[in-house]
């Protein structure tokens, strides 16, 4: 079964109150869980003018405290920005607060500016990510970090958009948190090299926004979508980074059409189980009625429509 989740970046556009955005987001996740939501995922960036979420595991703990059933994922924590021990402690606390619901997604990061802020080496980020993935289970197992998480092992993912990261994910035995058929071959190479040939799994963003009237919704969300894309471009320049910031283009669809669009996106991934998909809950500053209806359609139409998607593509 494929879990359908919501993706949170907690942007706070000009004129909005940050505390209100966080409160509304937590309330909406609780309501979505009651309607059958399978998972919620949080992300991480630093230094964005609109307050893009900088503390994913802190937010994950808040979500864990307010929910009872949904899986709580990080998509992703930028692993090289914090020591392995700190990451292990924070992740363990989230898993404990949630009663064993953490899906720990890690990434290498790409914005040089974010590394400079904390004195981390941008050039070695992939090596550090791989070391973190190997070290975390050891820290929990040998008692270096206490208390240990509920889950043993904690499910791990690697967010990667290129072959190097896909191979790394496979070697670590982690899930690959990006839905790109071009990454299947290098991911399988990594799985084989690491002795994890039978444990591969995929998850990632399906960039759909659901509405009863897509044309009317497009007109109302165009400004926020453009603002979000521009924020990545601006930070690219500031960081002098060549990192790929391209997301799949947002598709605004009715519920049934969104189901069809996601199934079409997943079809080229045949042969590898897709356990998780997620879409943005909000684009930052959208009208409340648009967001609330989108979330209702995600739980009431998209979720049941994709219930057998993992079997279709596996």
pLDDT computed for residue 249 by the predictor: 83
pLDDT computed for residue 244 by the predictor: 45
pLDDT computed for residue 282 by the predictor: 95
- Count Cβ atoms within 10 A of the Cβ of residue 162 and give its class: 0-12 exposed, 13-18 middle, 19 or more buried: middle
DSSP 8-state code for residue 94: H
- Count Cβ atoms within 10 A of the Cβ of residue 217 and give its class: 0-12 exposed, 13-18 middle, 19 or more buried: buried
Report pLDDT digits (tens) over 189-206.
999 999 998 899 999 999
Report residues of the chain scoring pLDDT below 50.
234-245
pLDDT computed for residue 246 by the predictor: 52
pLDDT computed for residue 226 by the predictor: 79
Both structure tokens of 192: 């084989």
pLDDT computed for residue 7 by the predictor: 98
pTM: 0.94
| Sequence-ordered list of residues with C-beta below 8 angstroms from that of 269, at least 6 positions apart, any chain | 179, 181, 184, 202, 313
The label of the residue with tokens 């497009």 reads 218
């Amino acid at each position: 079964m494929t879990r359908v989740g919501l993706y949170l970046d907690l942007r706070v556009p000009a004129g909005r109150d940050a505390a209100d955005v966080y409160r509304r987001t937590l309330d909406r996740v609780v309501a979505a869980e009651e309607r059958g939501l399978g998972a919620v995922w949080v992300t991480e960036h630093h230094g964005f003018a609109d307050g893009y979420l900088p503390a994913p595991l802190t937010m994950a703990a808040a979500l864990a405290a307010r929910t009872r059933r949904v899986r709580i994922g990080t998509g992703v924590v930028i692993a090289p920005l914090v020591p392995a021990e700190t990451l292990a402690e924070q992740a363990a606390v989230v898993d404990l607060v949630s009663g064993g619901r953490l899906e720990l997604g890690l990434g290498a990061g790409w914005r040089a500016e974010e590394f400079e802020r904390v004195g981390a080496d941008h050039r070695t980020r992939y090596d550090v990510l791989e070391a973190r993935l190997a070290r975390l289970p050891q820290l929990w197992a040998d008692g270096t970090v206490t208390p240990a998480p509920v889950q043993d092992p904690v499910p791990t993912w690697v967010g990667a958009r290129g072959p190097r990261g896909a191979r790394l994910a496979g070697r670590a035995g982690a899930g690959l948190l990006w839905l790109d058929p071009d990454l299947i071959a290098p991911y399988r190479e990594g799985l084989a090299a690491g002795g994890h040939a039978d444990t591969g799994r995929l998850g990632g963003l399906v960039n759909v926004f659901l509405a009863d009237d897509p044309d009317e919704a497009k007109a109302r969300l165009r400004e926020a979508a453009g603002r979000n894309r521009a924020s990545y471009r601006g930070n690219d320049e500031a960081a002098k980074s060549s990192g790929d910031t391209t997301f799949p283009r947002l598709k605004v669809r009715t519920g049934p059409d969104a189901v069809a669009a996601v199934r079409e996106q997943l079809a080229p991934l045949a042969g590898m189980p897709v356990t998780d998909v997620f879409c943005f809950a909000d684009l930052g500053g959208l009208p409340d009625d648009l967001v609330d209806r989108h979330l209702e359609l995600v739980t009431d139409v998209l979720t049941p429509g994709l219930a057998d998607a993992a079997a279709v593509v596996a």
